[in-house]
A and B are shown apart, each in its own frame.
Chain A
Amino acid sequence: MQWESSEARFQEKIDQEIKIEPKDWMPEKYRQTLIRQISQHAHSECVGMLPEANWITRAPSLRRKAILIAKVQDEAGHGLYLYSAAETLGISRDEMYDQLHSGKAKYSSIFNYPTLTWADMGAIGWLVDGAAIMNQVPLCRTSYGPYARAMVRICKEESFHQRQGFELLLHLSKGNEAQRRMCQDAINRWWWPSIMMFGPTDDASPNTQQSMKWKIKRFTNDELRQKFIDVCAEQVKFLGMTLPDPDLKWNEERGHYDFGTINWEEFWQVIGGNGPCNQQRLDTRKKAWEEGAWVREAAAAYAEKKKARTPVQQIA
């Protein structure tokens, strides 16, 4: 059958590590999985601007202010690359925005937590961008070409963000008592949500097998989470701080850190819309979008007028 042979050829390409490009045949489910994943990723970049943009006007030095603006701006750029990558699969940016605003499309739950002190700018860089990198580095080799190429650019910037975040915390950790307290408090609040960023455990993640077969994903959620915890458990020592997990302990036999039980109830609650800032984040995005409608209309109207005038000018 025609369909079967297309499918077989597709899988053959995947197995040979040949990138799938926009014009290539692909199973509908592959396309849909990618649209869901890439748009969700794009939305995360955009919604993710908010908790940090929150602190731009309060940054405590001009140097930190400049770094923070540049970082948030990078995230907007990531959103752009990813929306463009998703568009190659036949969905428009406006459709994706609609899905975000209606609540149909998700974004990373981590951004539904509030940024309460300046130290959160460091904790987000170190832990949230750090977890994002763990997830995203393998995506640079993901099977869909435009997505993989977008991820290469994004990962370079994310690792920069992570270093900046760690450096911010390091500075606080050497500061006065209030700053050290701020530093520990931010780590305490961001640690568990960060390790939840890797998603549910493998046995609760039904799509993982198919995504691995299609090489959209290369490692399972649990593998990546373990890797992240192993790295952070060492890094936190440089800060002279602790991770808020009494069960965190090096396991010689496994060659990994053991860690405590994740509060999955909280995870599902936040995904379900009941996190501390779900409503606020979505409302902010919707407000920006709705209040920008007249601007987009004006820009479109002007572009139309200009196009209509151009030939006249050329003759003149």
Chain B
Amino acid sequence: MSQTMIQYEGKIAQIVQEDPMLQFLLYAGDNALITGHRCSEWCGHGPILEQDIAISNIALDYIGAARNFYQLAATRIQAKDPSLEVTEDTLAYLRDAWDFKNLLIAELPNGDWAQTTIRVYFISSFQWLFYQQLTQSSDADVAAIAEKTLKEVKYHLRWSREWVIRLGDGTEESAKRLRQALTFLWPFTGEAFKEASYETATSSATTIQLAKLHELWKQELQEVFAEAGLEVPTQQAFQSGGKTGKHTEYLGYILAEMQFLQRAYPGASW
């Protein structure tokens, strides 16, 4: 029978605590996992069968990206202490909310199709820039994951951009719903560009310069919003905390659902 899964708390948490690159990997992995989780909630409930398939596909890409980051993190944790049994699932299923580093925008509820697609747009337009830079990383493993993920993000961005434009320029109702979604999500769109300590500490390896990404991202938004007939809000996008483990109430429920079997049957292999 395969390994009993040990707890995250304790030795593993400590190793992560001491290594900003591991924290960075978890940040990237958590963003992918939680975004993928939300997208996967649409599976079977989409407004159009083709779009049901599209968003499930996006969910699948995100889960795949999360696995790549977690597997790399797990390998590196284990390298530091070969006595530990750490897998991708230890990291996804045995951490509590305060150890998750995903952006708050990823964990917010799906809402309607407008809120879902503009959320994917916000996340993928950021990731498109983020992963492009990350392909330049001096950490070859990280650069390789970025390279692979970038191809998928390109599609997510195209898909969500098209939906934002389509809904913005569709009917009166779709434009109204899109504006409502924008109002709801906007405060959460700044967090990605606020540097967490592990980002500062790893910036020479990752080559990520958030200030530069932010400028490019604003340009992207200008163009797409113009086509969608949306105004770029001028208010501060003030919500943050996810990157350092201070989440909204929503994440706890996501984890309660996601981790239920691992928690109910500790040590079982599935």
List residues of chain A with CB under 8 Å of any chain B CB: 46, 49-50, 53, 56-66, 69-70, 72-73, 76-77, 79-80, 83, 118, 171-172, 174-176, 178-179, 284, 287-289, 291-299, 301-302, 305
Contacts and interface: CB of A to CB of B under 8 A. Distances in A.
B238 interface: no
B252 interface: no
B166 A302 contact: yes
Given A57-B37, A294-B171, A62 B67 contact: yes
Contact of B66 (A62, A83, A298): A62
Contacts of B165: 302
Contacts of A73: 43, 53, 56-57, 60
Contacts of B177: 294
A298 B173 contact: yes
Given A49-B43, A284-B45, A288-B45, 9 more contacts: A49-B44, A50-B44, A53-B45, A60-B93, A76-B52, A76-B56, A77-B53, A292-B48, A294-B171
A288 B43 contact: no
Contacts of B171: 294, 297-298, 301
Contacts of B93: 60-61
A49 B45 CA distance: 9
Given A56-B40, A57-B40, A302 B92 contact: no
Contacts of B66: 62
A268 B53 CA distance: 33
A294 B49 contact: no
Contacts of A118: 261, 270
A305 B262 contact: no
Given A60-B262, A64-B270, A69 B63 contact: yes
B88 A301 contact: no
Contacts of B1: 174-175
A72 B60 CA distance: 11
B249 to A, nearest CB: 17
A301 B261 contact: no
B269 A171 contact: yes
A155 B59 CA distance: 25
B163 to A, nearest CB: 9
Contacts of A294: 171, 173-174, 177
A109 B53 CA distance: 23
B190 interface: no
B258 interface: yes
Given A60-B270, A292-B113, A69 B56 contact: yes
Nearest to B173: A294
Classify the interface of chain B: helix, strand, loop or mixed.
helix
Chain A contact residues, majority secondary structure: helix
A51 to B, nearest CB: 9
A267 to B, nearest CB: 25
B169 to A, nearest CB: 6
Contacts of A299: 48, 166, 170
Q: B44, B60, B258: which has the most chain A beta carbons within 10 Å?
A: B44
Given A171-B270, A298-B167, A179 B265 contact: yes
Nearest to A118: B261
Contacts of A60: 93, 261-262, 268, 270
A80 B50 CA distance: 8
Contact of B270 (A61, A70, A293): A61
Contacts of B265: 176, 178-179
A66 B60 contact: yes
B139 interface: no
Contacts of A79: 49
Contact of A80 (B49, B63, B88): B49
A57 B167 CA distance: 28
A233 to B, nearest CB: 27
A58 B170 contact: no
A100 to B, nearest CB: 12
B43 A53 contact: yes
A232 B89 CA distance: 32
B257 interface: yes
B241 interface: no
- The winner among A50, A176, A288, A299 for most chain B CB atoms within 10 A is A299
Contacts of B166: 298-299, 302
Interface in B53-73: 53, 56-57, 59-60, 63-64, 66-67, 70
Given A69-B56, A80-B50, A57 B45 contact: no
Contacts of B258: 57-58
A73 B51 CA distance: 11
B141 interface: no
A288 B46 contact: yes
12 contacts: A60-B93, A66-B67, A69-B40, A76-B52, A287-B45, A293-B47, A295-B51, A298-B170, A301-B174, A302-B165, A302-B167, A305-B169
